Structure 1
Amino acid sequence: LTPQLLKAIWKERRDSLKAIHLAESLEEVAFVRGEPNAFEREIYPLAGRKPFSRPKAESPVKYLEMLECLDANTIIVHSIFIDRDDVEILAREGASVVLCPRSNLYLSGALSPLPLLKEAGIPTALGTDGLGSTPNLSMWEEMRTLWFYARSKGWEITPQEILTMATYQGARILGLQDLTSLKPGQEASFMVIRLPWDMSPQEMASFVLFQGDLYLEAVYIKGKRVL
């Protein structure tokens, strides 16, 4: 999107949720820095588009900040190539982040620096991206991929935190956090997972993360069983 179009969208929809895929590749970083990049070298010619003029920025996050296109209604999808300065900007503006672990690893070989996001208190959820970069849209696979990647990096994260990212945090970012609880008068959308034995809350979280899809017995949406 041109700077003019981005600014127009944020001005027109200041009070609406806006999701933007950002900092997903090193080519994107080169693009906002005004350096040689695959977008202008290969992709634009294939699409019959010409490069457009734009201000230069050190990073995609700083590019959006420069254009005043960051706010509490902004959802940043991916955010792989960001640093501490970028995280501080996102936190200050009140933006949220969505990680798509399998897609991110397939296309870029890395994930967003989750420890920095946690430290800054940035709401962070999980997504699947699309079938162009993942074999299916399984949230269980996304959760497990994040778990193993975090372990390989020495990040401190619990199964409970990952489950929260896949459920409550996503709803919270979309302003639908009330849908994540079961209480009188609330929309009854939930899954039923059979536990083979009594478990502590910690054991239950681990079981659901690693085997929940194998023991899924039912899915209800608005009180109606659909599976």
Structure 2
Amino acid sequence: MTTVFTGGAVIIDAHSELTEGYVVADGGVITAVGHGRAAHETLIAADTVVDTTGHALMPGFINAHCHLFQAMLRGIHTTQCLEDWLDNDIGPFLSSLQPEDMYLAATAGLLENLRSGVTTVLENQYVHQHPHNTDSVARAFADTGIRGLIARGGIDRNPTGRLASRLEGIDVYVDQLTRFAGEWNGAASGRIRCEAAIQTTWLASEELCARVGGLLADTGMGLHAHCAETRASVMSTLATHGQREVPYFDRHGLVTPATQLVHCVWLDRHELEIIAAAGATVVTCPTSNAYLASGPAPVSDLRAAGVPVAIGCDGPGSNNGQNMFEAVKWSVLADRLRTLDAGLLDEVAALDMAWEGGARAVGLSGSIGAIREGYLADLVSLDIESPGYSGSSNLRKALVFAGSPADVDGVWVDGLQVVAGGEVLSSDRHHIHRSLQQRRAAIVNHEYTAVN
């Protein structure tokens, strides 16, 4: 099916835009991009013509780190650091989550992502008290029509005694990861892909890391991992393993070009050099890191060292939303506060992280993150006649520093429209909202039947 977008602006990538341009997509792939309006013969040959007058077409954002189940647990407290927040706001409720709760929460989070201009989500799912929780999350990806890379997380240490519902034996974890990837990798017409995750070094034993490192070497599977998120996590890793986090991962073969290390707030110079030499990607989550008082990541230092950086919103519980516009903006602002230098990062850097960095993180560099011939037709239409774009020197600057999810009018994934007029077409958001609120009330008030 051929779709032609014509009449409005086109943001090609972080570096270029067209004041007026057209885009042709056929079979889910972009087949033509040009200046001005599409020719008459192009229009009459199309199955669908989308008039983008007053709008700008941009590549879909890539949210490179998320925990979607947290949509069920937003805002229980708002004044705790990461470790206390995990123990008090998240941990007590995990054992009560049923597979259908996971589906509801994932669907709600994905609807919010789509309405924030996100077409690809890298989901880190680590709640395994039921063996099919991650399958429920994958089903939400399939049903909403979004693209996803789902990392199945592993934890086998329980130093505080409060993580029992998240623990799996090493053999069980490896078996379930292999099963999940076998069933879901390439599902939904290729929109869903799978990889491994080690949640964090101080919750992972030597044996788990070694087993996963061997699995990655044998299969070529990617790895997603929290890394150097807080000062406490660094100190815990030193106390437990006698090394900082990046060298510990690297010793087990876990730092590769297919690795995404998330947060990386408290890296030292040696760790930065290991990441750069390996070609791994760092995912910064600036709004979550601010919300939990973890600190700002050294984003400009990483980029200066040649490290690919992507941007994530993190879970809905650790910043109360999936607002990718906010995360993109704060990827620049947080670094400016850290360095007191306004010249190191700008809107081009922010969009390069959101698009090319995100594409690199999910293993789709050269396929998503730009509007070019041969790229997948993952596209977002923005209303640029909203006030935030008026008077701006260029669309990319306005997008980063004044853009909002309210500007998102249409979203296409693989050339298929999934959002129209700001509404997601694949799911009834009102039903999802009511069902989730009802279930959340039962969970937080302990009026539930826990999973055995």
Residues 110 and 198 of structure 1, relative CA distance in 2, 3 Å threshold: closer
Matched, 1:192 2:381: yes
Per mean C-alpha deviation after superposition, the further-off stretch among 130-139 and 202-211 is: 202-211
Which residue is equivalent to 1:176? 364
| Number of the residue aligned with 2:223 | 18
Q: Which residue of 2 aligns with 1:39?
A: none
How far 1:171 sits from its partner (Å)?
0.9
Q: Residue type of the partner of 2:321?
A: N
Alignment of 1:1-227 (within 5 A): 1-14=204-217, 15-34=220-239, 55-57=241-243, 59-153=244-338, 154-155=340-341, 156-177=344-365, 178-184=367-373, 186-196=375-385, 203-213=394-404, 214-227=406-419
The answer to whether the 8 A contact 1:74-1:95 is kept is: yes
User: What is the CA–CA distance in structure 2 between the aligned matches of 1:113 and 1:145, rounded to whole Å?
Assistant: 13
Alignment coverage as a number of residue pairs: 206
Give the secondary structure class of the aligned counterpart of 1:171.
Answer: helix
Q: Distance in 1 between matches of 2:275 and 2:384?
A: 39
Equivalent residue of 2:321, what SS?
Answer: coil
Q: Distance in 2 between matches of 1:183 and 1:115?
A: 27
What are structure 2's unaligned runs of at least 5 residues? 1-203, 420-452
The 3 A distance-change label for structure 1 pair 183 and 120 is closer
User: Whose helix fraction is larger, Structure 1's or Structure 2's?
Assistant: 1
- Structure number with greater Rg is 2
The TM-score, its normalising length taken from structure 2, stands at 0.43
Q: Which has the higher contact order (CA 8 A, sep 6+)?
A: 2
* SS of aligned partner of 2:310: strand
Distance in 2 separating the partners of 1:181 and 1:144? 19
1:94 maps to a residue whose letter is G
Q: Hey, what's the Cα distance between the residues in 1 that align with 2:319 and 2:312?
A: 11
Q: Does the Cα contact within 8 Å between 1:193 and 1:212 map onto a contact in 2?
A: no
Distance in 1 (CA, whole Å) between partners of 2:290 and 2:394 is: 28
Letter in 1 for 2:215: E
State which drifts further: 64-73 or 13-22.
Answer: 64-73
The whole-number CA distance in structure 2 between the counterparts of 1:5 and 1:31 is 17
| Per-residue deviation, residues 3-49 of structure 1 (Å, max 9, x unmatched) | 11111101111221100011111221111211xxxxxxxxxxxxxxx
2:300/2:335 contact within 8 Å kept: no
Q: Distance in 1 between matches of 2:209 and 2:345?
A: 35
Q: What amino acid is the match of 2:283? A: V
* SS of structure 1 residue aligned to 2:394: helix
CA-CA distance at 1:184 after TM superposition: 4.8
1:97–1:123 contact (8 Å) kept in structure 2: yes
Any conservation in 2 of the 1:102–1:145 contact (CA below 8 Å)?
yes
Q: Report the residue type matching 1:86 in the other structure.
A: E
Deviations 1:134-164 (A, max 9, x none): 1111110111222322232324101111012
Q: Give, in whole Å, the separation in 1 of the partners of 2:332 and 2:260.
A: 22
Quick one: which amino acid aligns to residue 157 of structure 1?
Answer: L
What is the CA-CA distance between 1:63 and the residue it aligns to? Answer: 1.9
Give the drift of 1:127.
0.4
Task: Give the 3 Å change call, closer, same or farther, for CA 136–179 of structure 1 in structure 2.
Answer: same
One-letter code aligned to 1:223 = G
- Give 1:199 deviation, angstroms: 7.9
The structure richer in strand per residue is 2
State the one-letter code of the partner of 2:416: K
